[in-house]
Structure 1
Amino acid sequence: MLNSITKLFKQLLEGEDLGQHSAADPNLAIACLLYEVAGADHQIERAESEAKHHLLGKLLNLDPSQTNALLTRAQQCSKDSASLYEFTSQLRELSQQNRYCVIQAMWQVANADGTIDPLEEAVIRKTAELLYVDHRDFIRAKLSVTELPANELPTSDKDQ
């Protein structure tokens, strides 16, 4: 985050137009959110990395090499970001069901190691608020993940 602030001040001093934003990339935004939740507690367990990879491929229908490339870009983008808003603002056009699926995937990454850190929950809560996901759906997504055995990922929540 300090790098982001330094970069912002440098851009201001150099007179760059800060109104210009890079093109929206919803897939990258989703990958960044999964990366953010995994790193929220300042340690990324192997189970969380595997869950990120699996869920991103599943959500976006990507093959393993595409998923790896996207997660590599997400890692750098996440390091350069100042807030979750940079990612969530690109996802507001998604349907309510798809925004729910993003929140559910974030819960799955957070719970991949068997425990949900309060910092991980805070990232998911803030993301849900920024995506206008109802609190009821926020809790429903959490329960759909935490009520399963530790290493079992839900297949779909569309039937509920």
Structure 2
Amino acid sequence: MFADFLKRLTAPDPAPLQDIDARLALTALLVRVARADGHFDNDERARIERIVTTRYGLSGDDTKTLCDQAEVLESEAPDTVRFTRAIKDSVPYDDREKVIEALWDVVLADGTRDDLEDALLRMVSNLLGVNDRDSALARQRVEARQK
């Protein structure tokens, strides 16, 4: 279903993504991080739905459709390194920085941080070209909202 999209995304010189494609790729990345610990539950999915609804101003049906498609795309996407680098090459820095904040929101949804999640976020941030300082600031903004 997403073979053409993935082919375009991972091409040697990808064109910038259209808004709807960027939404799908970035939501799939949220799903990938949520699934990283081998556990993807309704609470995590609800958190992702809230994030994309707020971020993109979507209706409930549009949010559900986007999340359903993102789950399929994530399962078909190449390894995290290639997938994330492809996003980096086709999404502006400001959007990638906001994605890191959303990723921290998903990771911290249960109120705890573990070493696996920290390591994954460091890797993803680096692959997206977001420096450690900006990632830490994004995490701190999420933590402040949760207090």
Scaled by the length of structure 2, what TM-score is found? 0.77
Matched, 1:54 2:50: yes
Letter in 2 for 1:94: V
Q: Distance in 1 between matches of 2:136 and 2:144?
A: 12
Contact kept, 8 Å, 1:29 with 1:88, in 2: the verdict is no
Contact 2:87 2:128 in 1 (8 A): no
Distance in 2 (alpha carbons) for counterparts of 1:138 and 1:73: 27
Does structure 1 retain, via aligned residues, the 8 Å contact 2:125–2:135?
yes
TM-fit CA distance, 1:119: 2.6
**One-letter amino acid matched to 2:28:** C
Matched, 1:119 2:105: no
Q: Structure 1: which 5+ runs fail to align? A: 1-19, 151-160
| Identity score, percent | 27
| Alignment partner of 1:137 is 2:130 | no
AA matched with 1:146: E
Q: Deviations over 1:94-137 (max 9, x none)?
A: 33322111000000011111122333323322221111101100
Counterpart contact for 1:32–1:87, Cα < 8 Å:
no
1:95-114 to 2 correspondence within 5 Å?
A: 95-114=92-111
More helix, by proportion: 2
TM-score by length of 1: 0.71
RMSD: 2.1
Larger radius of gyration: 1
SS at match of 1:42: coil
Shift of 1:91: 4.3
> Does residue 33 of structure 1 match 2:22?
no
Counterpart of 1:21 in structure 2 is 7
